Amino acid sequence: MLKQMKNLGIKTSLKMIVPFLITGIFGTLIGACFYMLYETCTMLVAGTSSNAISLNLFLKGVFISFPISMGLSAMMLTLYFIRHPALPFIPILTYAVLILVAWLVLIPSCTKLSLNYDTKTESVKNKNSLSSNLFRKSNSLVTYFSKVYNDNFANGMCINISNDASTIYTFKNVPLEDNKKTFSDSLIAESIEMPRLISYIMNDISTLMEAGKKAIKSWKAENQLTFGASFFKGISYWLCYISMGLALLSVIGLRRVSNWRLLNTFIVILSTFCITSFNSIYYRKTIYEGAAAIVDKWFSKMIFIHDPFAVLVNIVIFILFSVTGLLIDIFKKNNDLDKMGNPV
């Protein structure tokens, strides 16, 4: 019986559920903890104490990390396929079902919950004021606060180092400006601010999540109580948005483009990064405006298609990668076979 299951790939299909759950559960928990700690650090002020554990920040981290983990599940399962090759049909069908469940059920449900969840993170961050008796550098100014009052006024000294001859002057009862930066204290930012590449990736993720929330809001705004045009127009916002998920699903077609597993791993990761970057750049409206305007005209009369340029590109990627994988599975001989002719 076990031998027959192996020949059909059923065993591999069942095993795939484990990495899928690990990606969702552990990815969410680890991401939520990192988010909580990082956000706590952004509110830190040098010379003061703070509690690193915050239930509000942890829950907000869960709502952020879970969609990310589910969005990356296609890549993680594809890497699992690279490490554990299997007969294509049943395992890939299971893979497709898992990814569709993630994008059609799990991610939108989490996004809806996050929209209903209200945290006080920003208000807490604004209440943190700078401490005294420390030098802080901002561009060409070095500031020293000898006293910071509860009403956010301060006494101190400022050194202007922009010129060859530094200028020093004192001030008293000067109101401190509201800190609109990510970090409450520049001294903390110098120590733990994100590297540029990580910051770029997080900006991409933030853009995609905001676009997802916008799609959910548009979905909720339509009348979903009746199965008419309003219902289908509402759900079409999310269906158009998750065309990105369709493109990510298709990276499995690249799992055997070469005989070198390490190169296949790199190609899958790079393709996932490129797909998410394209969609993020599109939603930021920084480029593609000319091409997007042309495609928008093509679909201007179709009220159920939103962001048609992104949808079109994602579908083209899906078709291209899927056909590539199908042709490879049909025509490419696998040299790593056991005695029964199954991939090892």
How does pLDDT run across 82-120, given as a tens digit for each residue? 887 766 678 888 899 999 999 989 999 898 888 887 544
- The model's confidence at residue 190, banded by pLDDT at 50, 70 and 90, is low
**Mean predicted confidence (pLDDT) in 52-57:** 78
Q: Which residues contact 62 (CB under 8 A, 6 or more apart)?
A: 28, 29, 32
Could you tell me if 157 and 268 lie in one domain? no
Q: Where is the domain boundary, 127, 147, 162?
A: 127
Identify the pLDDT of residue 47: 57
**Mean predicted confidence (pLDDT) in 270-294:** 85
Report the half-sphere exposure of 37 (CA within 13 A, side-chain side).
8
Identify the pLDDT of residue 184: 63
Helix and strand counts by DSSP (H, E) for the chain: 14, 4
Could you tell me if 219 and 329 lie in one domain? yes
Identify the pLDDT of residue 269: 95
Q: List the single range of 72-76, 128-132, 250-254, 295-299 with lowest mean pLDDT.
A: 128-132
Instruction: Round the average pLDDT of the chain to a whole number and report it.
Output: 77
Q: List the single range of 14-18, 38-42, 158-162, 239-243 with lowest mean pLDDT.
A: 158-162
Identify the pLDDT of residue 263: 92
Identify the pLDDT of residue 314: 93
Could you tell me if 221 and 337 lie in one domain? yes
**156 closest CA partner among 173, 180, 181, 139:** 173
What is the C-alpha separation between 96 and 91, in angstroms, rounded?
9
Could you tell me if 215 and 341 lie in one domain? yes
Say if residue 166's pLDDT is above 50: yes
Q: Give the three-class secondary structure for 223.
A: coil
Could you tell me if 37 and 22 lie in one domain? yes
Number of domains in the chain: 3
Say if residue 329's pLDDT is above 90: no
Cβ atoms of 328 and 71 closer than 8 Å = no
Could you tell me if 168 and 275 lie in one domain? no
Could you tell me if 16 and 119 lie in one domain? yes
Which one-letter amino acid corresponds to residue 142?
V
Percentage of the chain exceeding pLDDT 90: 24
Could you tell me if 123 and 246 lie in one domain? no
Say if residue 310's pLDDT is above 90: no
Percentage of the chain exceeding pLDDT 70: 72
What is the C-alpha separation between 101 and 110, in angstroms, rounded?
13
Say if residue 208's pLDDT is above 60: yes
Say if residue 337's pLDDT is above 70: no
3-state SS, one letter per residue, for 232-288:
HHHHHHHHHHCHHHHHHHHHHHHCCCCCCHHHHHHHHHHHHHHHHHHHHHHHHCCCC
pTM, entire model: 0.78
- Output the CA–CA distances (angstroms, integers) from residue 319 to 14, 70, 168, in the order listed: 27, 22, 65
Cβ atoms of 42 and 188 closer than 8 Å = yes
Say if residue 168's pLDDT is above 90: no
Question: In which domain, by residue range, is 69 found?
Answer: 1-127
Could you tell me if 3 and 116 lie in one domain? yes
Could you tell me if 122 and 138 lie in one domain? no
Strand partners, 147: 155
Q: Is 186 domain-assigned?
A: no
Q: Is 232 domain-assigned?
A: yes
